[in-house]
Amino acid sequence: MKGEIRFIGVVEKRKGEEARIRIFPEYCAGIKGIEGFSHLIILYWMHLRDNEEKRQTLLVFPRGGTVNIETGVFACRSPSRPNPIGLCVVKLLKVEECTLTVRGLDAFENSPVIDIKPYIPRIDSISDAQTPKWIEG
């Protein structure tokens, strides 16, 4: 099985809680109509964890070791994982040509952006979702 990821943009600047995402010109048409959404889902490449050692990591202690329960990387949000893909829900503040200004993005500057999806509450919010006790701590 073969797959290919095409980066559609890059995190350009971070200033406090705000960040700018520059969409590459060949994908700019893809953000048409995005200004109607208050929130977006950003998928990005955690490029600082993209090495063979980190991609082999399958067991971790969550929250940078602050939780003393070993879990699998698919049961937590560890940045070390077979495919270093990050996901974040952000507030859309402004759209200027091919640049989005957002609040709440946890990606570092120069992180490649994989995809952007609109956040749709009736689809993306699960009111009765459950989590293990260790995550509440």
* Same domain? 11 vs 42: yes
pTM across the whole model: 0.90
pLDDT band, very low/low/confident/very high, at 117 (cuts 50, 70, 90): very high
Percent of the chain with pLDDT over 90: 66
Residue 52 dihedral angles phi and psi, to the nearest 5°: -60, -40
Last residue of a domain, one of 34, 63, 83: 83
pLDDT in tens, 3-26: 899 999 999 988 889 999 999 999
State the residue range of the domain holding 113.
7-46+85-120
Give the pLDDT confidence of 61-97 residue by residue, as tens digits. 887 667 788 999 999 888 889 999 999 999 999 999 9
CATH code of 24's domain: 2.40.30.70
What sign results for the dihedral spanned by CA atoms 18, 21, 22, 23? negative
Torsion angle of C-alpha atoms 11, 114, 95, 99, degrees rounded to 10: 50
Q: Which of 88, 57, 92 is closest to 73 using CA atoms?
A: 57
